[in-house]
Amino acid sequence: MDRLAVGELALDHPIEARNIERVVRMSSASAEAMRTEIRVNDQGIGCIRLALTNLRCGGCVATIERVLSARADVAAARVNLTLSQLVITLPRLDTDLAPIIEALAALGFPAVPVDSGDVSGMETGAAQEGSVSKNLIRALAVAGFGAANIMALSVGSWAGADGITRSSFQWLSAAIAVPVVLYSGRPFFASAWSALHAGRVNMDVPIALAVGLTLLLSLFETLNGGAHVFFDAAVTLLFFLLGGRTLDHLMRDRARSAITGLARLAARGASVRQTDGNLVWTTIDKVAPGAVVAIGPGERIPVDCCIIDGMTDLDRALVTGESVSVPARPGDNLEAGTLNLTGTIAARVLRAASESFLAQIITMQGAAEATRGRYIRIADRAARLYAPFVHIAALLTFIGWLVATEGDWRRAIFVAISVLIITCPCALGLAVPVAHVVAAGKLLRMGILMKDGSALERLAEIDSTVFDKTGTLTTGTPTISAGPIGAADCAGAMALATASGHPAAQAIARYLDCQPGTVADVDELPGNGIAGRVDGRPARLGRASWVGEIATVPAGADGPLFGFAGEPTVAFALSETLRPGALGAIEALRAGGLRVAMLSGDAAPRVDRIATALGIGEAMNEASPAAKIAWLERRRGEGRRVLMVGDGLNDAPALAAAHVSMAPASASDAGRTAADFIILRDGLEAVPEAWQTARATARIVRQNFIAAFGYNIVTIPLAVAGLVTPLMAALAMSASSVVVIANALRLNGGARPKAAGA
Amino acid sequence: MSILAILIPVALGLGVIGLVVFFWTVQDGQYDDLAGDAERILFDDDTPLMPPCDTVLGAATKDRSPL
Amino acid sequence: MIASLTREDRGAAILITTLGVLVGLLMTAGGWGDLLAVHGVIVMLFCGGLFLLVALNLNAPEPGDERLAAYYDDPTRVGVLLALVWAVVGMAMGVWVAALLAWPDLRFDAAWSSFGRLRPVHTSGVIFGFGGNALIATSFHIMQRTSRARMPGQVAPWFVLLGFNLFCVVAASGYLMGITQSKEYAEPEWYADIWLVVVWVMYFGLYVRTLARRNEPHIYVANWYYLAFILVMAVLHIVNNMAVPVSFGGFKSYSAFGGVQDAMTQWWYGHNAVAFFLTSGFLGMLYYFLPKRAERPIYSYRLSILSFWGITFFYIWVGSHHLLYTALPQWVQTLGVTFSVMLLVPSWASAGNALMTLNGAWHKVRDDATLRFMMVAAIFYGLSTFEGSFMSIPPVNSLSHYTDWTIGHVHSGAMGWVALISFGSIYALTPLLWRRETMYSWQAVEWHFWLALSGTVIYVFAMWNSGLTQGLMWRTYVAGGTLRYSFLESLVAMHGYYIARAFGGLLFLIGAIIALWNVVMTIRRVPAHVPALDYPTGSEAFEPAVPVMPAE
């Protein structure tokens, strides 16, 4: 692997040259389209937010910021290592972004603009006032402040302060507790109210009851000079519950803002030819059927259209998943979202963007996601049973004590409150989120981004895996092989290959290891190849029959050929490159007891070749997106739970339809949005590793639940029997929370891996 | 323990100041990139940065004159 | 140095020093016949000396504007040197008073050299003189570097540094004359206290102004530790030193509080001084210099922020553990005990965080004495915080209170944690600050390390033994219910330990002298070299002491 030296610093990790190219190509867009990603703040300063891959270390951060800031077209650059994002401040709003993105790719950090349509992707520190996570953190801080100070006062009272000291402590505690509960308790009170309003009961109802009753009773005691108050219990309870909730949200925020809203597959607009012949950039919703659009090389087809002028090669992987490019000529229909590779074409719009093939895929995906939404998280399932139980227990305790003490309602309420507090789902509330947060951190260090905790739960349950072929099991960049090549042929092939933008030609150029000859009169013919004069002699590189017009082609030739006029040709064989670690990953999954299958939209011979190479018995070829979904539905009907790994180019809906899904970072935007996990690194080892982590997490969560429930089983009888004061209840609950957190930290176990700090 | 009439308000006051400052740090986005910020002190250059026009979207451009 | 001040700066300096001389004159005249006059003279001499320094160089060429593109490091350099000088002075006094305990005749029959007067010269000298200057100097460095911005002015930092040293000089000279409030770590009298408030407000303002003009949006965690140190010390200092002077023409004042209320205030201050001066501030040093030197980021940055807030909330109430088994109300004592035990959690979080940062860099610790200073400091921090929590439990405290064990605890923290992290930071800072290729002698750094470590260990072991001996002897009863040992007998039993303690301190002092020498020689003898990279630089023969690892 290469080491790039940048200035004085050498980057320590290898850079995948072929990946850079592939990502830049797949995310490419015209200058105008990119420019729409620039946001302008209220000072009129333009910024753009990019998502980076390959970002792993502090040295990377320093390199990127220093190199970019030194450019004249960049005012400032700031990397966020935690989110793997980069914010560039631009000196002018009409800055061309392409050279900047190329510079980043050359440094080894492929970047794609973050979708400006997704508001959460553009939030920054200053503008995040309203976001849920920050409000939770503030509520947590207030609760912590209140808990620490009230605890100090209550320890004093409990340790023996009496008389006026004690009562002034009570008043002081009240003065602190009331605003703290009103501010920090809002999430719980609001949620409980809306649930009750809708006639349901959720976990926040007993919490709101416990906190509210404790506060009110303590206030009553303070006003009446009672001996015991329990402000500490109320506030400490809030603190720990908020802790769990905040952790959950932070984790979700991080995953969401990192992967959603990447540059959309769908073009934002198109260059429409006017009646006077000029091209005008028009937003996509205004491009009407019958209009004529011009599409350049490297751009995505904006709408379903029909070529009227020009020839080109297309990457139709969106539709077919095919790994080879396809020629197109006037009269051919093009689908929105496919990639125009080599030529400039003019095409007549067939239907509006909202009815395009791409739009249909997105609709299919939405439907599939709706079915997955039925999956109810473990914690919520537990909550459904638990909340009523808690209420009933507290009520019965109250009634029981009222009867047993013949009307001492104060004592009865104390005991009932103790029961409410002890049954409060602190540990329960933490059991799952804290394990998920630790797991998410561990996965991130492994190079896997997790969308939310339910994904982890679903991953632990799988019994089968299915892989897409192109772009998932294979890298999508062809491997070239050829027989021995003479020096002259090599120079000639190299000269023509480097002059062409076609991916196969570029692959050939990388394969050949010689100096190119001097070339003149280059003429690239989409669908056929590239012709020119090399060192004075006519030569062609491309399709067999076309090269055969000037050179000698053996019968049955397949794949690209090179030949000088009148000479025998040199044949190149294109084969797919397996992703690193693919074989090891498949074997690891099989060793773990999972069934492995492959679904591909590509043709049978190529599919079978890869299936044999990887030892996969069950492989489906020429599968359309709908066929993939049908396959998954059949498995679901058989009761199997399937993990789908795909890059979403033609299987985004399938990713949404599977029980749980993963996509590589180089996947299409649709794939990234549909998948539950994103693999940030190149190899497929992430798949079995993520699965193992999910199972370990599920184990930890089970243990946490056992601990939390066990603690409840032991303490509830004690509380009902009146042996537990509210303060003790709060402390016991805190202790159980600590146990649960410590257990979750066991997931990290072993030496800390060398990666960006936690 | 009459001295507590001074000590407790002072301690609470300091705590409130701490809380207010904490709120400011949250709002200013001080915790948005803990991994990167831990690395930044290790960068090699030993010269101040020249003030940029703005590095954070939405933040007001502060007066950045050297003195 | 004057040459780097602009004309306005020099004008301001003249004005301030003139005011200082006038105040000194006022003190001398108003306090004539009282010891206050002596302090007035000292103030006049101090300010007058500075006045002359500026006045004689008034017409030196003015600096150009290109200085604004660099950090302002002159005050930091002077601060480092002052810290080392005070270290030697303060530790020398420490050895003297330790020796006095074993050999009382070392008093030479004078009043000024009695134990009671020399001891606070030692405590203030090492805490405020050495520690305070180290904190000020390192904070100037860290606040500029982490903000990537030059500090906002050139007069303010000098005012803070030199004003603070004036406070130290007044304090130390006052002790020798017998001027003291008899409050531990708050001995200076009312006029010195007021002056410190002025200096401190300037310090806080300077810090906040530097952060406000930062070019790096994120405020590194070390700055928060320093800010807490500055702000809380100001509040503590003001509350504890509330006093009524007998007259404005005299040094003597009476505390606004009395009896057990005063005791509580004193130890509320005293322990929080330990918490925020000796812990929070130096944690700021640790969180910057240790990762820098180890060339790795803090193990868990999030944890460092959490333990900052944890320390801030929990430390405030531990003070009464100094007053266990006294007339203080029982519940106040219990409160202090509870929080002292809970405090262990954020403290060990910090120590653990520092040590985990070194995980994977132990070879650097082995090769690089400077980094080793910092590592051992972190270990001692963990040890002494555990010891402190342990000693605040009533049963343990019933044995340790009033014994030498308390002194042993203080010194394991002061020598093992505070001094070692300061020395480590100074060694890390010096070559960069003076643009030198390397320290003058890395072997000397090694020598210093081993002297410091052995000195600390000998001292602490001696005090553990003496303290336990005292405690046990004082609570041994005979069958009839009377004490077995007289106080005098316990004192005699201490003799050997006190010699050992003085010896341990002597080793530590020698180490400090070596440090001062090494730094001075670095400034004078090592060839200048502007490092291209802010790496820790070389060992002997200008080769890197530790191999330069690529960033991970």
pLDDT in tens, C137-188: 999 999 999 998 899 989 999 999 999 999 999 999 999 999 999 999 999 9
Confidence of residue C100 (pLDDT cuts 50, 70, 90): very high
Could you tell me if C163 and C248 lie in one domain? yes
Residues in chain B closer than 8 A to A145 (CB atoms):
15-16, 18-19
* Residue ranges of B 10-49 with Cβ closer than 8 A to chain C: 10-11, 14-15, 17-18, 22, 25, 28-31, 33-35, 37-42, 44-49
- C287 or C268, which is more confident? C287
Give me the pLDDT at residue B51, please: 59
Percentage of chain C lying above the pLDDT 90 cut:
72
Quickly name the fold that domain A446-475+579-695 has: Rossmann fold (3.40.50)
Looking at domain A269-358, which of 2.70.150.10, 3.40.1160.10, 3.30.465.10, 3.30.300.30 is its CATH number? 2.70.150.10
Q: Is C302's Cβ below 8 Å from some Cβ in A? A: yes
For residue C260, the number of C-alpha atoms closer than 13 Å in the C-beta half-sphere is 14
**pLDDT over 70 (residue A509):** yes
Q: Is B67's Cβ below 8 Å from some Cβ in A? A: no
Give me the pLDDT at residue A729, please: 75
The tally of domains found in chain C comes to 2
| Weakest-pLDDT range from A92-106, A231-245, C3-17, C231-245 | A92-106
| Weakest-pLDDT range from A483-487, C361-365, C482-486 | A483-487
* Residue ranges of C 77-106 with Cβ closer than 8 A to chain A: none
In a 3-state reduction of DSSP, which class is residue C522?
A: helix
**pLDDT over 50 (residue B64):** no
Kindly state whether residue C307 falls inside one of the protein's structural domains.
Answer: yes
Confidence of residue A263 (pLDDT cuts 50, 70, 90): very low
In a 3-state reduction of DSSP, which class is residue A568?
A: strand
| Weakest-pLDDT range from A352-366, C255-269, C491-505, C522-536 | C522-536
DSSP character at residue A44: S
Preferred mutation among A80, A172, A173 to probe B, highest tally of B CBs within 10 A: A80
d(CA A469, CA A610): 8
For residue A490, the number of C-alpha atoms closer than 13 Å in the C-beta half-sphere is 12
Q: How far is A11 from chain B (nearest CA, A)?
A: 14
- Averaged pLDDT score across all residues of chain C: 90
CB pairs under 8 A between A and C: 63
DSSP character at residue A569: -
Which residues are within 8 A (CB) of A54 and not within 5 positions of it... i.e. 6 or more apart? A13, A15, A60, A108, A109, A110
d(CA A303, CA C473): 95
DSSP output for A238-292: HHHHHHHHHHHHHHHHHHHHHHTTBSPSS-SEEEEEPTTS-EEEEEGGG--TT-E
C-beta neighbour count of A388 within 10 angstroms: 12
Torsion angles phi and psi, residue C280, rounded to 5: -55, -50
Query: Is domain A5-127 classified as CATH 3.30.70.100?
Result: yes
Mean pLDDT of A440-461: 80
Kindly state whether residue C547 falls inside one of the protein's structural domains.
Answer: no
Query: Cβ distance A475 to A22 under 8 Å?
Result: yes
| All CATH 2.70.150.10 domain ranges in chain A, comma separated | 269-358
Task: Tell me how far CA of residue A593 lies from CA of A465, A688, A691, C130, C269, in angstroms.
Answer: 11, 11, 12, 66, 65
Give me the pLDDT at residue A161, please: 78
Could you tell me if C40 and C79 lie in one domain? no
Q: Is C148's Cβ below 8 Å from some Cβ in A? A: no
Q: What is the CATH number of the domain that holds C464?
A: 1.20.210.10
Give me the pLDDT at residue C498, please: 96
Give me the pLDDT at residue C488, please: 94
* Residue ranges of B 18-47 with Cβ closer than 8 A to chain A: 18-19, 22-23, 26-30, 32-36, 38-40, 42-45
Q: Is B58's Cβ below 8 Å from some Cβ in C? A: no
**pLDDT over 80 (residue A670):** no
Crossing angle between the packed helical segments A378-404 and A204-223, to the nearest 10 degrees: 40
| All CATH 3.30.70.100 domain ranges in chain A, comma separated | 5-127
Q: Is B55's Cβ below 8 Å from some Cβ in A? A: yes
Kindly state whether residue C30 falls inside one of the protein's structural domains.
Answer: yes
| Weakest-pLDDT range from A244-248, A382-386, C39-43 | A382-386
| Weakest-pLDDT range from A575-584, C251-260, C493-502 | A575-584
Nearest CA in chain B to C551: B42
Question: Looking at the DSSP assignment, which residues form a beta bridge with residue A283?
Answer: A269
- Give the structural domain span for C26: 1-58
Preferred mutation among C147, C218, C285 to probe B, highest tally of B CBs within 10 A: C218
Question: Looking at the DSSP assignment, which residues form a beta bridge with residue C220?
Answer: none
Query: Cβ distance A302 to A351 under 8 Å?
Result: no
Query: Cβ distance C341 to C389 under 8 Å?
Result: yes
Shortest CA distance to C499 belongs to which of C119, C103, C104, C92?
C103
In a 3-state reduction of DSSP, which class is residue C439?
A: coil
DSSP character at residue C412: I
Kindly state whether residue C536 falls inside one of the protein's structural domains.
Answer: no
Which residues are within 8 A (CB) of C150 and not within 5 positions of it... i.e. 6 or more apart? B48, B66, C68, C69, C70, C71, C72, C144
- Averaged pLDDT score across all residues of chain A: 77
Nearest CA in chain B to C260: B1
Kindly state whether residue C311 falls inside one of the protein's structural domains.
Answer: yes
- C346 or C414, which is more confident? C414
Residues in chain A closer than 8 A to B23 (CB atoms):
138, 141
Cβ within 8 Å, pair C335-A155: yes
Mean pLDDT of C84-103: 97
Q: A424-447: string of b/e by CB count within 10 Å (b at 16+)?
A: bbbbbbbbbbbbbbbbbbbbbbbb
Query: Cβ distance A462 to A691 under 8 Å?
Result: yes
Kindly state whether residue C197 falls inside one of the protein's structural domains.
Answer: yes
Query: Cβ distance C27 to C39 under 8 Å?
Result: yes
In terms of average pLDDT, the best of A718-727, B39-48, C329-338 is: C329-338
Could you tell me if C291 and C429 lie in one domain? yes
Could you tell me if C23 and C78 lie in one domain? no
d(CA C513, CA C444): 11
> In this complex, which of A152, A160, A757 lies closest to C300 when CB atoms are compared?
A757
pLDDT tens by residue, A416-440: 888 887 777 666 666 777 787 778 7
How many helices (H) and strands (E) chain C has is answered by 21, 2
Cα-Cα-Cα-Cα dihedral of C61, C66, C68, C73, to 10°? -70
Q: Residue A176 belongs to what H/E stretch?
A: helix A164-184
pLDDT tens by residue, B2-46: 888 888 888 888 889 989 999 999 888 888 888 888 888 888 677
Q: How far is B36 from chain C (nearest CA, A)?
A: 9
Where do runs of H (alpha helix) occur along C358-419?
362-367, 369-391, 394-400, 404-411
pLDDT tens by residue, A473-494: 887 677 788 878 888 888 888 8
DSSP output for C124-136: HIIIIIIIIHHHH
Could you tell me if C46 and C89 lie in one domain? no
- B46 or C230, which is more confident? C230
Give me the pLDDT at residue A35, please: 61
Question: Is position A669 annotated as part of the catalytic site?
Answer: no
Kindly state whether residue C134 falls inside one of the protein's structural domains.
Answer: yes
Q: Which residue has the tokens 């006022």?
A: C26
Kindly state whether residue C67 falls inside one of the protein's structural domains.
Answer: no
Residues in chain C closer than 8 A to B42 (CB atoms):
291-292, 295-297, 551
Strands A464-468 and A642-645: parallel
Which residues are within 8 A (CB) of C176 and not within 5 positions of it... i.e. 6 or more apart? C112, C117, C118, C121
Residues in chain B closer than 8 A to C265 (CB atoms):
3, 6-7
- A558 or C189, which is more confident? C189
Q: Residue A598 belongs to what H/E stretch?
A: strand A595-599
C-beta neighbour count of A200 within 10 angstroms: 11
Nearest CA in chain A to B62: A43
Preferred mutation among A155, A168, A239, A445 to probe C, highest tally of C CBs within 10 A: A155
| All CATH 3.40.1110.10 domain ranges in chain A, comma separated | 478-577
Crossing angle between the packed helical segments A604-614 and A582-591, to the nearest 10 degrees: 60
**pLDDT over 90 (residue C482):** yes
State the maximum Cα–Cα separation within chain A, in Å, rounded to a whole number.
Answer: 114
Give me the pLDDT at residue C12, please: 94
**pLDDT over 60 (residue A138):** yes
Quickly name the fold that domain A478-577 has: Calcium-transporting ATPase, cytoplasmic domain N (3.40.1110)
Q: How far is B62 from chain C (nearest CA, A)?
A: 8
Cβ within 8 Å, pair A141-B58: no
Which residues are within 8 A (CB) of A742 and not within 5 positions of it... i.e. 6 or more apart? none
Q: A70 is written with which tokens?
A: 């030194």
Give me the pLDDT at residue A366, please: 55
Preferred mutation among C5, C148, C206, C269 to probe B, highest tally of B CBs within 10 A: C148
Confidence of residue A61 (pLDDT cuts 50, 70, 90): confident
Strands A464-468 and A595-599: parallel
d(CA A476, CA A333): 24
A246-250 contacts at long range (C-beta below 8 A, 24 or more positions apart): A246/A133, A246/A136, A246/A137, A246/A140, A247/A430, A247/A433, A247/A434, A247/A437, A248/A433, A248/A436, A248/A437, A248/A453, A249/A132, A249/A133, A249/A136, A250/A133, A250/A437
At CA A498, angle to CA A494 and CA A500, rounded to 5? Answer: 125
Give me the pLDDT at residue A253, please: 62
Residues in chain C closer than 8 A to B67 (CB atoms):
68, 152-153
Q: A666 is written with which tokens?
A: 């180089």
Give me the pLDDT at residue B49, please: 72
**pLDDT over 80 (residue A274):** yes
Give me the pLDDT at residue A276, please: 84
Q: Is B55's Cβ below 8 Å from some Cβ in C? A: yes
Could you tell me if C43 and C89 lie in one domain? no
Residues in chain A closer than 8 A to B8 (CB atoms):
172
| Catalytic option among A468, A647, A669, A676 | A468
Interface ipTM: 0.84
- C322 or A668, which is more confident? C322
Shortest CA distance to A561 belongs to which of A474, A479, A492?
A492
Confidence of residue A139 (pLDDT cuts 50, 70, 90): very high
Give me the pLDDT at residue C89, please: 97
Shortest CA distance to A642 belongs to which of A472, A473, A437, A467?
A467
**pLDDT over 60 (residue A258):** no
Q: How far is B65 from chain A (nearest CA, A)?
A: 17
Mean pLDDT of A351-379: 62
Question: Looking at the DSSP assignment, which residues form a beta bridge with residue A19?
Answer: none
| Weakest-pLDDT range from A282-296, A515-529, A692-706, B6-20 | A515-529
Q: C288-299: string of b/e by CB count within 10 Å (b at 16+)?
A: bbbbbbbbbbbb
Distance of CA A520 to the CA centre of its chain: 47
Torsion angles phi and psi, residue A448, rounded to 5: -125, 130
Residues in chain C closer than 8 A to B38 (CB atoms):
291, 297-298, 301
d(CA A370, CA A657): 9
| Weakest-pLDDT range from A109-113, A237-241, C26-30, C420-424 | A109-113
Cβ within 8 Å, pair A126-B23: no
pLDDT tens by residue, A68-118: 888 888 888 888 887 778 888 887 777 777 788 888 878 877 776 665 433
Cβ within 8 Å, pair A159-C313: no
> In this complex, which of A62, A141, A756 lies closest to B22 when CB atoms are compared?
A141
Give me the pLDDT at residue A393, please: 84
Confidence of residue C14 (pLDDT cuts 50, 70, 90): very high
DSSP output for C74-102: HHHHHHHHHHHHHHHHHHHHHHHHHHHHH
Cβ within 8 Å, pair B52-C215: yes
- C63 or A253, which is more confident? C63
Could you tell me if C52 and C177 lie in one domain? no
- A300 or C58, which is more confident? C58
d(CA A43, CA A29): 27
Mean pLDDT of C438-442: 84
Mean pLDDT of A674-695: 85
Shortest CA distance to A637 belongs to which of A620, A657, A655?
A657
pLDDT tens by residue, C335-351: 889 888 888 888 898 99
| Weakest-pLDDT range from A46-50, C143-147, C507-511 | A46-50
Give me the pLDDT at residue A189, please: 92
Task: Tell me how far CA of residue A716 lies from CA of A339, A382, A720, A724, A737, in angstroms.
Answer: 64, 17, 6, 9, 16
Q: A631-640: string of b/e by CB count within 10 Å (b at 16+)?
A: bbeebeeeee
